[in-house]
Amino acid sequence: MKEIKVNVELEEVLEFVREDRDCKIEIDYDKNDGSYDAYVLPVDAAGFEEKIDTQVVEAYDYQEFDGDEEAYIDWFTNCYDRPYDVEDYSIKINFIK
């Protein structure tokens, strides 16, 4: 199983959910240099050609925290505190503040 580690700017996710908009984190493979990257995109955006995985982030979850952004951040980042498996990959998303 191939291990992949990617970084995601937490603020990019927060910009969407604060505006009550869903988004997605897309993990992609770059054939040119063999790297893996993660992008935060609108949920309805077209993805990249070499997509490995997509994680949908629902704004509804943010709203459930009634404005307690720190509690939401703790909950959300804890959802990804361990790697998860997709096909032949073990993916670890690190959120950068």
Query: What does the pLDDT average to over 66-89?
Result: 96
Give the pLDDT of residue 32.
86
Return the residue matching tokens 């790297």: 35
Q: Which residue has the higher pLDDT, 5 or 49?
A: 5
Sheet order of strands, 89-96 included: 2-9, 89-96, 84-86
pLDDT tens digits along 29-63: 988 898 999 999 999 998 677 899 999 999 999 99
Q: Which residue has the higher pLDDT, 31 or 86?
A: 86
Q: At what angle do helices 69-79 and 10-18 cross, to 10 degrees?
A: 120
pLDDT tens digits along 8-18: 999 999 999 99
- For the chain, give the percent of residues with pLDDT over 70: 99
Please write down the long-range contacts of 70-75, taking CB distance under 8 Å and 24 or more positions apart.
72/17, 73/10, 73/14
Q: How far apart are CA 76 and CA 70, in angstroms?
A: 10
Q: What is the pTM of this model?
A: 0.91
